[in-house]
Chain A
């Protein structure tokens, strides 16, 4: 059974950093691209970033609105995808979902985690 479990969310002050983790199981992690997608309270879904698998050199892509503040990475040996978020502001408050897919000619998200809430507030 495919499982994705996010962790690392919480309350953080504006300007600070936070790192989210997505621990995967039930599939060959290294064969798939992984993505982060967020949802602000009461709002729609917003794609954040994806990282391709090793076959596509593990390259990354980001939403333009993030302006280089976020970094996605992966550790295939631990089957974990990460999202490093810097210079957080109140507009980054959202539930952050990890999802399988999003790159490597597989532009859909077939499995999602339960999400982790990030609240940016002083």
Chain B
């Protein structure tokens, strides 16, 4: 069982927007602005998409955005494209466990 809770799957049609949630506790998401998100295509290494809750790495599409409210962080992908189909993982600094990951969310582009 992962420390952070993500939905197992989400789906959307091309052009639509989707949001993936990541729920934590007072010892991780609530207490720190160190949430990051990773995209992983099958057989590939993960790729950083969002860090420090809402910052995008240089060169990354602005279709990807991050936010946090209370114990839940969110990744929003707008203008969904076929190549966005992948697994997405959230992670956070944790006072008790140092680094915790979510269980991952499989995004299907219909």
Give residues 79-110 of B contacting A (CB, 8 Å). Answer: 89, 91-93, 97-104
A100-122 near B? 1/0 per residue, CB < 8 Å: 00110001111111110000000
Tell me if A82 counts as interface (CB < 8 A to partner B): no
Task: Kindly state the separation between the CA atoms of A103 and B98 in the bound complex, as whole angstroms.
Answer: 9
Tell me what chain B mostly uses at the interface: helix, strand, loop, or mixed.
Answer: strand
Tell me if A75 counts as interface (CB < 8 A to partner B): no
Write the nearest CB–CB distance from B50 to chain A, whole angstroms. Answer: 9
Write the nearest CB–CB distance from A109 to chain B, whole angstroms. Answer: 6
Number of interface residues of B (CB under 8 A): 25
Tell me if A32 counts as interface (CB < 8 A to partner B): no
Task: Kindly state the separation between the CA atoms of A108 and B36 in the bound complex, as whole angstroms.
Answer: 6
Tell me if A50 counts as interface (CB < 8 A to partner B): yes
Given contacts A44-B89, A97-B45, contact A109 B38 (CB under 8 A): yes
